[in-house]
């Protein structure tokens, strides 16, 4: 499954109302670790179609970053049934990310 761009406009339909668990990647173009996390998140999305994966640009969507209390990036947020289950700050491997969905 491809990675979605999540904005305040599509957040409710793509994340809150999702029937699948969701992984959100909060990132920014100027963030070096974010650029290292991005291809890992892309691969994760391709390998796990059972999980919806979205990216949130913190510069373009400050309301969403604030709503999740994002202070450092990259930050990965695991959401199941519209509820935040886990927040991972910093660079993570695919295996570490998948472990949050078990």
State the catalytic residues: 31, 34
Contact present, 95 and 43 (Cβ < 8 Å): no
Token output for 58:
């913190």
Q: If residue 80 lies in a helix (H) or strand (E), which one and from where to where?
A: strand 75-80
C-alpha distance from residue 42 to each of 62, 63, 71 (Å): 22, 24, 23
């Amino acid at each position: 499954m491809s990675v979605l761009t999540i904005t305040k406009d599509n957040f409710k339909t793509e994340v809150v109302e999702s029937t699948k668990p969701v992984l959100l990647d909060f990132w920014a173009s100027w963030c070096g670790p974010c650029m290292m996390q991005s291809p890992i998140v892309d691969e994760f999305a391709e390998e796990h179609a059972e999980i919806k994966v979205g990216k949130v640009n913190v510069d373009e969507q400050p309301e969403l970053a604030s709503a999740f209390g994002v202070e450092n990036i990259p930050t990965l947020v695991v959401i199941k049934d519209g509820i935040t289950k886990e927040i991972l700050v910093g660079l993570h491997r695919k295996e570490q990310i998948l472990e949050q969905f078990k």
